[in-house]
Amino acid sequence: QQPVQSPQAVILREGEDAVINCSSSKALYSVHWYRQKHGEAPVFLMILLKGGEQKGHEKISASFNEKKQQSSLYLTASQLSYSGTYFCGTVSKGAGSYQLTFGKGTKLSVIP
Amino acid sequence: DSGVTQTPKHLITATGQRVTLRCSPRSGDLSVYWYQQSLDQGLQFLIQYYNGEERAKGNILERFSAQQFPDLHSELNLSSLELGDSALYFCASSVGGIYSNTEAFFGQGTRLTVV
């Protein structure tokens, strides 16, 4: 089942902060965050693991609440280059195997 | 450049036809994932292979099939194509399986247009 992302879209001015949320109805093994710019392939940002370990981007932080099956991506002091669609991908076990399922994305636009 | 190569980049075909999309993973990556991206559905997971074996299946139609060959490249076969199959198809690869928590690298995608 697809995780739910909110908001669907957000517009920021340079320097402002944003939070993107991702929630799932399934028990999660990990959460992945990717950013996709228009016409390009998704690019890895971060992986959040159960137990609090994080692997990823230096300037972007995220949290993972295992009990609530929720994750949030924090974008601080936004830059024009942050514009794009952010996807969360949740890893959960289904039908005997793990699956990585993405949400529908959050479109972030940073304006001068 | 992610190191994942997908061919062709663009494909236009008629309804009812069959096409094959090809993916070469990054050197050393054993896992290959296929995703379908349409405007209103985001990234839909189709199928995953690890070292030649199918490991996970998502929302893949029976008209679609895939395989991973001994040299680790993968092919996605789409048959009896319908207008609704028009989409961007991404391949991604990673070192381990999805449970190993390694990042996935995406290819540039194949844009399929069914007319």
Using CB atoms and an 8 Å cut-off, which of residues 78-107 of chain A contact chain B?
Answer: 87, 89, 91, 95, 97-105
The count of other CB atoms within 10 Å of the CB of residue A1 is: 11
* B10 close contact with A: CB closer than 8 A: no
pLDDT digits (tens, 9 = 90+) for A45-96: 888 887 766 666 667 888 898 889 999 999 988 999 999 999 999 988 766 6
pLDDT over 70 at A110, yes or no? yes
Nearest CA in chain B to A102: B43
Residue-level pLDDT at B9: 97
Q: What is the pLDDT of residue A100?
A: 80
The alpha-carbon gap from B77 to the nearest alpha carbon of chain A, in Å, equals 21
Give the residue from A77, A34, A89, A86 showing the smallest Cα distance to A56.
Answer: A34
Mutate to test the interface with B, among A100, A106, A107 (most CBs of B within 10 A): A100
First-last CA distance in chain B: 31
> Is pLDDT of B111 > 80?
yes
- Segment B29-42, tens digit of pLDDT: 999 999 999 876 78
Identify whether the C-beta of residue A64 lies closer than 8 Å to the C-beta of residue A31: yes
Candidates B65, B72, B66, B77; CA nearest to B50 is B72
Q: What is the pLDDT of residue A55?
A: 63
Q: Do B43 and A41 touch (CB under 8 A)?
A: no
How confident is the model at residue A54, as a pLDDT?
65
Q: Which 8-state DSSP code applies to residue B73?
A: -
Q: What pLDDT does B96 receive?
A: 81
Q: What per-residue confidence (pLDDT) applies to B33?
A: 93
**Phi, psi (rounded to 5 degrees) for B107:** -75, 180
Comparing alpha-carbon positions, the chain A residue that sits nearest to B42 is A104
Name the residue facing B45 among A56, A100, A104 (closest C-beta).
Answer: A100
Chain B residues with beta carbon closer than 8 angstroms to that of A90: none
- Could you please report the per-residue DSSP string of B93-107? EESS-GGGTPPPEE-
Taking only the tens place, the pLDDT of each residue in B72-109 is 999 999 999 999 999 999 999 998 876 666 788 999 99
The residues near B108 (Cβ < 8 Å, ≥ 6 apart) are A40, A41, B2, B6, B9
Tokens of B63: 């008209």
d(CA A50, CA A83): 28
pLDDT digits (tens, 9 = 90+) for B6-60: 999 999 999 999 999 999 999 999 999 999 998 767 888 899 999 999 988 887 9
Residue B67: burial class (beta carbons within 10 Å; 0-12, 13-18, 19+): middle
Give DSSP secondary structure letters for A45-71.
Answer: EEEEETTS-EEE-SSEEEEEETTTTEE
The pLDDT, as a whole number, for residue B40 is 67
Instruction: Using pLDDT thresholds of 50, 70 and 90, give the confidence band for residue A97.
Output: confident
Q: Encode B36-57 in three state secondary structure.
A: EEECCCEEEEEEEEECCEEEEE
Confidence of residue B114 (pLDDT cuts 50, 70, 90): very high
Measure CB to CB from residue B45 to each of A42, A99, A104 and give the nearest one: A99
